[in-house]
Amino acid sequence: MSARILSGKTIAEAIKSEVAAEVAGLKEVHGFSPCLVVVRVGEDPASAVYVGSKVRTAEELGIVSEHLHFDADTSQEKIVEVVTELNERHDVDGILVQLPLPKHIDEREILELIDPEKDVDGFHPINTGRLMQGYEGLVPCTPAGVIEILKRSDIDIAGKHAVVVGRSNIVGKPMAMLLLKESATVTICHSRTKDLPSITRQADILVAAIGRAGFIRSEHIGEGATVIDVGINNVSDVERAGELFSNEEIEKRLTAIENRGFTLVGDVNPREAMEKSANFTPVPGGVGLLTVAMLMKNTVVAATIRRGV
Ligand code: GUN
């Protein structure tokens, strides 16, 4: 069997067109454009790429955006001051502080300082609490994007066994809550789970959010499952790439390693997942694209709720 590939690109494009139409409507009817401010501290190269993509996409859709970048040695007090000002600015609808923050910054203090109404990442305890209680609100973008992929690909969630591997605050935990809200039977696995394959093999929907390249293999996947790969890892070893990719894919990957020094790989072994699963999200081109699209959607949601339109 060869899995159906669930294209994040097509689904992200559909969501972005819906958001662009909503943004145009807000301007026409209510005379404002939603505004997103992204705060980045330090020089993490992946963060620079992600933030660039967020700001660019916002502009494409008619959302006003600002990118505030601070040196790696910026003090906690300064970041507190910046977020406080953004909280107070009436024109700002969404505030996103890109993670990871430099080690000397207290991430929790900063995330808890963001006005929950402007928390487009959905990381504030008020918003995670609401999610836990099953209320609508600002929901973390990556797990929200996974739900969109499932729904827009006509994959039933209600009554299905969903297994989430990973328990981070950004993906694993909110993912489990959203699947529960959709009436899945949810199991959360993590690094201390005993006999992981025996559990993940039972999954109708398997979500991998572990942070280890190609960790989920054939033995973890039940025949006919839907496998959602949330991981983004760099692989630079040619031999390792050979273990992960099929004959059709390998040439492109080796060229990437030669040209850029690495190729992007998820948490799932794509060659084995393609053989064993019924539906599979590729990396790149899968869940990652949805994260940005859902951030745009959250910005519009935040703007309409806060401005009461
Ligand atoms: N770093 C990696 N993923 C994310 C995300 O979704 N939001 C923020 N703010 N930082 C991240």
Residue-wise pLDDT tens digits, 298-307: 999 999 999 9
CA-proximal residue: ligand 1, atom 4 (nearest): 99
pTM above 0.95, yes or no: yes
Please write the tens of the pLDDT for every residue from 272-284.
Answer: 999 999 999 999 9
pLDDT mean across residues, the chain: 97
pLDDT at residue 137 is higher than 90: no
Architecture of domain 141-288: 3-Layer(aba) Sandwich (3.40)
Give tens-digit pLDDT for 213-268. Answer: 999 999 999 999 999 999 999 999 999 999 999 999 999 999 999 999 999 999 99
Active site annotation includes 76: no
The pLDDT tens digits of the residues spanning 79-104 come to: 999 999 999 999 999 999 999 999 99
Say if domain 30-115 classifies as CATH 3.40.50.10860.
Answer: yes
The pLDDT value given to residue 103: 97
Residue-level pLDDT at 146: 98
- Residues 171-188: pLDDT tens digits? 999 999 999 999 999 999
- List the strands of the sheet with 35-41, edge to edge: 64-70, 35-41, 94-97
Cα(97) to ligand 1 centroid in Å equals 8
In the chain, % helix, strand, coil (3-state, to 5) comes to: 50, 15, 35
Gyration radius of the chain's alpha carbons: 20
Give the residue-averaged pLDDT of 24-32: 98
User: Residues of CATH 3.40.50.10860 domain(s) within the chain?
Assistant: 30-115
CB atoms within 10 A of CB 158: 8
**Out of 54, 118, 181, 276, which one is annotated catalytic?**
54
CA nearest neighbour of 82 among 103, 62, 104, 66 = 66
Record the tokens describing residue 155, joined without a space: 């994959």
Which atom of ligand 1 lies nearest, measured to the CA of 47?
1
Start-end of CATH 3.40.50.720 domains in the chain: 141-288
pLDDT at residue 136 greater than cutoff 90: no
**Is the confidence at residue 1, as pLDDT, over 80?**
no
Per-residue pLDDT, 91: 98
Q: What percent of the chain has pLDDT over 70?
A: 100
Atom of ligand 1 nearest to the CA of 170: 6
Compute φ and ψ for 171, nearest 5 degrees: -125, -65
Task: Answer whether 99 contacts ligand 1 (Cβ < 6 A).
Answer: yes
Which of 170, 171, 173, 290 has most ligand 1 atoms within 8 Å of its beta carbon, as the pocket-test mutant? 170
- Determine the pLDDT at residue 149: 98
b or e along 29-59 (b: 16 or more beta carbons within 10 Å of the residue's beta carbon)?
eeeebbbbbbbbbbebeebeebbeebbebbe
Q: Which of 49, 99, 110, 169 to mutate to test the pocket of ligand 1 (most atoms within 8 A of CB)?
A: 99
Q: Look at residue 44 in the predicted model and tell me its pLDDT.
A: 94
Scanning the structure block, which residue is given the tokens 């973008």?
141
Q: Which tokens go with 29? A: 């009817």
Q: For residue 76, what is the DSSP state?
A: H
Residue 298 Cβ < 6 Å to ligand 1:
no
* pLDDT (mean) for 4-27: 98
